[in-house]
Amino acid sequence: MSKSYEAFVTHRQRITDVQKATAVLGWDQETNLPKDAGQIRARQTATLAGIAYELSTDGKYIDLVRSLSEDKTLTHRQQRNVAQCMRTVERNLKMSKEMVERQSRLSSKAFDSWVIARRQDDFSVYAADLQELVSLKREQADRLGYEEHPYDALMDEFEPGAKTSQLKVLFENVRAQLVDFVKEIADVQQVEDAWLYKHYPQNKQWDFTIEILKKIGYNFDRGRQDISAHPFTVDFGPTDVRVTTRVNLDDVQEALWGTLHEGGHALYEQGLRVDDYGLPTGMAISLGIHESQSRLYENNLGRSLPFWKANYHELQKVFPENLGSVSLQDFYKSCNLVRPSLIRTNADELTYHFHILIRFVIEQALISGELEVNDIPEAWNSRYKEYLGIDVPTNAEGCLQDVHWAHGAFGYFPTYSLGSFYAAQFFRKAKMDLPNMVDEIEKGNNQPLLSWLRENIHDHGQLYGAEELCKKVTGEGLNFDYFMNYARDKYSTIYDLQGMKDLIA
Amino acid sequence: MSKSYEAFVTHRQRITDVQKATAVLGWDQETNLPKDAGQIRARQTATLAGIAYELSTDGKYIDLVRSLSEDKTLTHRQQRNVAQCMRTVERNLKMSKEMVERQSRLSSKAFDSWVIARRQDDFSVYAADLQELVSLKREQADRLGYEEHPYDALMDEFEPGAKTSQLKVLFENVRAQLVDFVKEIADVQQVEDAWLYKHYPQNKQWDFTIEILKKIGYNFDRGRQDISAHPFTVDFGPTDVRVTTRVNLDDVQEALWGTLHEGGHALYEQGLRVDDYGLPTGMAISLGIHESQSRLYENNLGRSLPFWKANYHELQKVFPENLGSVSLQDFYKSCNLVRPSLIRTNADELTYHFHILIRFVIEQALISGELEVNDIPEAWNSRYKEYLGIDVPTNAEGCLQDVHWAHGAFGYFPTYSLGSFYAAQFFRKAKMDLPNMVDEIEKGNNQPLLSWLRENIHDHGQLYGAEELCKKVTGEGLNFDYFMNYARDKYSTIYDLQGMKDLIA
C-alpha cells in the first residue's frame, strides 16, 4: 500500500471514529438519557459533529484525496474509495462548519421538543424548532446547489443521484397502479385480524423478537436490541450494530415487523467488511439499498407464508390464548391485511407508499418554500383524507408520528419506497438463483437467503453505486414492475381476486 | 466577562465535551458492549482521547491560559479556574499525544483481557497487557517528573499534592492502630451474619437499591443505575450522573453497599454547578474528597444504626423469609462484622484499609521497578497472608478482582483510604453543625445531611484544594484521629469491648 493511500486510510478512519462516537451518544440519547440531561448532551453531540466536520474538511486531507484521485497505480478498490471520499469532500466543502454544528444543536433541541409535542399532542411545542430546521435546510440546499429542484440537493445525501422530477414520475406511477389495486381489494371480503390486537404481554413479545433476530441470522456478539420510542438501527462499525424496537401491548405487529425491519438493516451493516472499517467499501451504498434489506426481511420474508410455516407454531406456543385457535392461513392473511391507516410504521406494504408519497409532497414543498411549518398539520391531514380516505384525529397520530424531521432528515423518506421496490427485485432474483431457498425458509433455515445477500449486496459496500449494484445483481436497473408483480401475485391470492389471478396466469 | 476569559471558557467546555463523550463510550463499554465490539470501540475511544489531548495542548489555548494567569482584573473565581487549568496544561505538556492515545488503546485491550482472565481465573491471559501498561506508566512518571518517588507523579493525577513518603507514614500509622484494634475484636464473641448470605432474588434487590438511591436524594432525572461487572459512577456533566451496581444472589451486601457507595459519589457530581460545566469550579476537587462522599454514604450513614432504624422495616418487608425474624440490632451488627476477607469491595470498613495498603505497596513497587507484573500474584498472596491472615485461593479472587489497573489507574487506590478518613472528619462536623441531623436520619429524612454536604463541599467544585477545603469545613487539615475515634466508638459498642468503652468515657 502506498504511503499516501495509507495516510488517507488513517485519516478517513479517524473521521469514522468521531462519527461513530457521535452515533454512540445518539443511541444513548434515545435509549438511556435521563430527563434533564438533554441540554448538555446536545452541546456534546454538537461539538463532536463539529470535530468530524473539521477532520472531513482538513486541508491536508483534501489535498491528499485530490492527489490520490489522479493516482493510476491504485487498485480498482482503492480508486473507488478515493472517488467516493472526493464526492463527500466536495459536498462538505460547500457546507460551513457553523452550519453543521447548528444542525446538530437544532436537531437535539427539536428532538426534545418533538418528544414533548408528541406526548402532549401539541404541534406548537415543536413548530418553532422545526421551522428553524427547515430554514437551515433551505439554506443548505442553496449552498449545495442543484439543477432542477432544491430538494434534489438534500436527497443527494441519502440517495446519491436521485431527482425530484424522477420521483414525481415514480410516485405518480405508484399511485396510478396501486390506487386501483387497493380499491379492488377494498371491494372484496376483508380478512380477519382481531387476534393481532389482543393483550400481548411485554416480556413474551420481547423474548420472541430476540428469537426472531436469531432466526434471521442477526449476530448478538456484534449487536444488541433495546427499547426506544421510534425503532432504529445504528452501527458503530460492523462489530457493533444495534437495533431498537417498541412493544405495543395491544398490537403484536409493532414489535414483530419493527424487529424484522431493523433486523434487515442490521444484517446489512453486520455484513460489511471489518477490514474496510472507515472506508467507503466498508459502508452501505445508499439508504434506498439499505431499506431494500429491511423491507426484504420485513415484507418479502417476514410477511410471507413460508416464513410463518416455519415459525407460527412457536408463536402459537408463546401466545396460546391469543393464537391457539387461529390457523396458519388466517394468521398469514391477517399479517397482510390491506387497510388504509394512520401510522406509517404500522402500515401494510401497499398503502405504505401513500404515507411516503404524502411526506415527499410536503417535504419538497417545505424546502422549495411553497409550504411553511405551521401549515404542515393541515397539509398532512387533508392529504391523508385524499389519498388514504381517513381522518387524522390528533397530530400525535399525524404529522408528529415520525422522528425524522426532528433529526433534520429531509429527503430521506423517499428512500423507504425505493427500498421496497429494490427489495422485490432482489428477492425475486434470489429465488431464481437459489431454487431451494423457499423450501429452506419453510424449514426454518434462513441462511441461504442471508448468504446470497451477503455475497451479492452486503460485501460490496460502496464498490458499486445503487443503480449499478442493482444492474450487477439483477441484470437491470430498478424496475417498478417487479414490485407490482409481487404485490399482485401475493394479494390476489390472499384476497382471492379472480381477475388478478387470470391476469397473472 | 472579558472576551479572553469567554474564549477560555468556550475552549475549556469543548475539551470537556470530548472528555464526556469519551466517558459515554466508556460507560457503554462496561454496561452494553456486544462481545465482539471491543477492538473497534478501543480505537474509537483512543481517537477521542487523542482529540481531547490535542484540544488541551492547543497552542492558542495555552497562550490564552498563560496570559489570563497574569490578568488581575478577573474575579477570584475566574482566577481559580485559570490557575487550575494552568496546572493541567503544564501536566499535559509533559505527556505526548502518542502516549495518551497509547494509554487509551492499551487500557481498552487490557480491560478485555482482564474480563477474560478474571472469568477463567488465568492471570497469564492479562499479564502481557498489564506489563505494557506498567511500562507506559513508568515512562509517564519519568516524563512528568517527581522529587522523591516516581509514584508521586502518578498520584498527582488523582490526589494533587499527595506524596508516597507521607502515605507510607500514614499507612504505618493506620496499621499500627488498626491491627491492635482488629485483633481485640477478633478475640471477643463474633456477631452473627448468616442471614446476609441467604438467597436474595435479583429483582427484589435491584428494586431496593433504586429505593435506597431515592432515599439518599439521588436525582433520577439526572442519572440512572445499571448493572456492570464492577460498580462505578460516571458523569457526563451534572445533569447526567450514572451509577452501576452488581447484584450477588447469595450476598445482599454487594448491591446494598455498592449502591450506597456509588450513590455518594453521584450526589457529589449531581451537586456541582451546571453553570460551571467544563470549568474547574464545576468539577470535583480530588479523588480523596470524592471518596469521602461515597464512604460517608456507604459507612458513616449507610452502616449506621440511625439509618437502619428508618429503613430496616422496609428491607424486612421485601425479604421476610431472610430477615423477618432478625432484629434491627442483630442486622445492624451483622452489617458491621469485622472479618478479614478476600474481596476489597466487600470488606468491612476497618480491614478495608489493609486491602488498600497491599495495593499501595504493590503499585509503588511496580512503578519504581522493584516488582514486575509476573510477580504480582505471589506478592499479592503473601501480603494477604501477612496482613489479613488469609490464603488467596484463586487469582480471580485475588489480584484480578479490581478493574483499576486495566484502566491504567495507578496511584488511585490510596485515595480510597484518604476518603474514609476525610469522611469521618466531615461526618463528625456535620453532626456538630446540625444537632438534629441524626434524629432526622432516624425518621428517614436524609435531606439535612445532603444539604450540608451540598453547601460545604459539593457546591465549591475546585474552588478550594482538598486540604484547604478540609480546613475550611472542619477547622483543621486531615486528621486520622477522627477516623480512629469513630471506629473505636462504633465498634466497641458493637463488639461490647469494655476496655474501649472505658477509654472513651
Render pLDDT for B460-478 as a digit per residue (tens, 0 to 9): 999 999 999 999 999 998 8
Q: Say whether pLDDT at A499 is over 70.
A: no
> Is A44 close to B236, i.e. CB distance below 8 A?
yes
Determine, yes or no, domain membership for B154: no
Q: CA-based angle A118:A407:A362, to the nearest 5?
A: 75
Residue of A nearest to B15 (CA): A47
User: Rg (Cα) of chain A, in Å, rounded?
Assistant: 23
What is the tens place of the pLDDT at every residue in A310-349?
Answer: 999 999 999 999 999 999 999 999 999 998 999 998 889 9
Asked whether the beta carbons of A65 and A84 are under 8 A apart, the reply is no
**Residue whose grid cell is 505527556:** B95
Determine, yes or no, domain membership for A110: no
Q: Say whether pLDDT at B21 is over 70.
A: yes
Clarify whether residues A217 and A69 are in a common domain.
no
Query: Which amino acid is residue B495, in one-letter code?
Result: Y
Q: Is B9 on the interface with A (CB under 8 A)?
A: no
Clarify whether residues B215 and B309 are in a common domain.
yes
Q: Is A275 on the interface with B (CB under 8 A)?
A: no
Average pLDDT over residues B203-224: 98
Residue B465: which CATH number? 1.10.1370.30
Q: Is A298 among the catalytic positions?
A: no
**Residue whose grid cell is 424486612:** B316
Q: Say whether pLDDT at B435 is over 50.
A: yes
Q: Is B17 on the interface with A (CB under 8 A)?
A: yes
Question: Which DSSP string corresponds to A223-280?
Answer: --EEE-SS--EEESSTT-EEEEE--BTTBHHHHHHHHHHHHHHHHHHHTS-GGGTTSG
Residue of A nearest to B37 (CA): A239
Average pLDDT over residues B78-97: 92
Q: Which of A32-46, B129-143, B161-175 has the lowest mean pLDDT?
A: B161-175
Determine, yes or no, domain membership for A381: yes
Clarify whether residues B421 and B493 are in a common domain.
yes
Residue of B nearest to A275 (CA): B40
Residues in chain A with CB shorter than 8 Å from the CB of B32 are 224
Which is the catalytic residue, given B262, B298, B349, B467?
B262
Residues in chain B with CB shorter than 8 Å from the CB of A17 are 43-44, 47-48
CA B383/CA B417 separation, integer angstroms: 18
Domain assignment of residue A405, given as a range: 164-504
Q: Is B221 on the interface with A (CB under 8 A)?
A: yes
Computed over every residue of chain A, the mean pLDDT equals 94
Asked whether the beta carbons of A50 and A101 are under 8 A apart, the reply is yes
Determine, yes or no, domain membership for A109: no
Percent of chain A with pLDDT strictly greater than 90 = 85
Q: Which of A13, A18, A36 sits opposite B239 (nearest CB)?
A: A36
Residue B79: which CATH number? 1.20.58
CA B350/CA B337 separation, integer angstroms: 10
Asked whether the beta carbons of B360 and B344 are under 8 A apart, the reply is no
> Is A37 close to B222, i.e. CB distance below 8 A?
yes
**What number of C-beta contacts closer than 8 Å exist between A and B?**
111
Residue of A nearest to B40 (CA): A237
Identify the pLDDT of residue B387: 86
Residues in chain B with CB shorter than 8 Å from the CB of A239 are 34, 36-37, 39-40
Average pLDDT over residues B80-84: 97
Clarify whether residues B173 and B124 are in a common domain.
no
What is the tens place of the pLDDT at every residue in A200-242?
Answer: 999 999 999 999 999 999 999 999 999 998 899 999 999 999 9
Average pLDDT over residues A250-275: 97
Identify the pLDDT of residue A172: 87
> Is B239 close to A40, i.e. CB distance below 8 A?
yes
Q: Mark which of B110, B145, B180 sits at the end of a domain.
A: B145
Q: Is A198 on the interface with B (CB under 8 A)?
A: no
> Is A47 close to B223, i.e. CB distance below 8 A?
no
What's the residue count for chain B?
505
Q: Is B97 on the interface with A (CB under 8 A)?
A: no
Identify the pLDDT of residue A502: 53
Torsion from C-alpha of A72, A75, A76, A81, nearest 10 degrees:
-90
> Is A222 close to B36, i.e. CB distance below 8 A?
yes
Q: Is A97 on the interface with B (CB under 8 A)?
A: no
CA distances from B20 to A97, A339, B212, B236, B270 (A): 21, 48, 27, 5, 15
> Is B35 close to A277, i.e. CB distance below 8 A?
no
> Is B24 close to A20, i.e. CB distance below 8 A?
no
Cell of B414: 490510596
Which is the catalytic residue, given A262, A269, A291, A298?
A262
Clarify whether residues A48 and A172 are in a common domain.
no
Residue of A nearest to B224 (CA): A34
Clarify whether residues B56 and B183 are in a common domain.
no
CA B189/CA B327 separation, integer angstroms: 18
Q: Which of A144-148, A411-415, A499-503, B416-420 has the lowest mean pLDDT?
A: A499-503
Determine, yes or no, domain membership for A159: no
Q: Say whether pLDDT at A163 is over 50.
A: yes
Identify the pLDDT of residue A503: 52
Determine, yes or no, domain membership for A491: yes
Determine, yes or no, domain membership for A286: yes
Q: Mark which of A94, A124, A149 sits at the end of a domain.
A: A94
What is the tens place of the pLDDT at every residue in A279-313?
Answer: 999 999 999 999 999 999 999 999 999 999 999 99
Please state the three-class secondary structure of B435-499 as a single string. CCHHHHHHCCCCHHHHHHHHHHCHHHCCCCCHHHHHHHHHCCCCCHHHHHHHHHHHHHHHCCCHH
What is the tens place of the pLDDT at every residue in B308-357?
Answer: 999 999 999 999 999 999 999 999 999 999 988 999 988 899 999 999 99
Higher pLDDT, A502 or A78: A78
Q: Is A282 on the interface with B (CB under 8 A)?
A: no
Clarify whether residues B38 and B104 are in a common domain.
yes
Q: Mark which of A70, A94, A118 sits at the end of a domain.
A: A94
Average pLDDT over residues B350-379: 95
Q: Say whether pLDDT at B384 is over 60.
A: yes
CA quadruple A158, A163, A167, A170: dihedral sign? negative
Determine, yes or no, domain membership for A113: no
Asked whether the beta carbons of B148 and B164 are under 8 A apart, the reply is yes
Higher pLDDT, A479 or B12: B12
Clarify whether residues A49 and A184 are in a common domain.
no
CA A144/CA A94 separation, integer angstroms: 6
B175–chain A nearest CA distance, Å: 43
Cell of A227: 427499547
Identify the pLDDT of residue A505: 44
The count of domains in chain B is 2
Per-window interface: A 416-435 vs B, CB < 8 A:
none
Clarify whether residues A297 and A438 are in a common domain.
yes
Average pLDDT over residues B402-425: 95
Identify the pLDDT of residue A96: 81
Clarify whether residues B49 and B133 are in a common domain.
yes
B44–chain A nearest CA distance, Å: 5
> Is B224 close to A34, i.e. CB distance below 8 A?
yes
Identify the pLDDT of residue B499: 57
> Is A222 close to B14, i.e. CB distance below 8 A?
no
Q: What is the ipTM of this complex?
A: 0.87
B95–chain A nearest CA distance, Å: 21
Average pLDDT over residues A132-151: 96
Query: Which amino acid is residue B200, in one-letter code?
Result: Y
What is the tens place of the pLDDT at every residue in B242-278?
Answer: 999 999 999 999 999 999 999 999 999 999 999 999 9
Whether the model pTM is above 0.95: no
Question: Which DSSP string corresponds to B52-106?
Answer: HHHHHT-HHHHHHHHHHHT-TTS-HHHHHHHHHHHHHHHHHHHS-HHHHHHHHHH
Residue of A nearest to B278 (CA): A40
Percent of chain B with pLDDT strictly greater than 70 = 98
Identify the pLDDT of residue A407: 92
DSSP state of A37: G
Clarify whether residues B212 and B249 are in a common domain.
yes
Cell of B13: 467546555
Residues in chain B with CB shorter than 8 Å from the CB of A35 are 221-222
Clarify whether residues A81 and A223 are in a common domain.
no
- Helix, strand, coil share of chain B (percent; to 5): 70, 5, 25
CA quadruple A479, A480, A483, A485: dihedral sign? negative
- Banded model confidence at residue B505, pLDDT cuts 50, 70, 90: very low
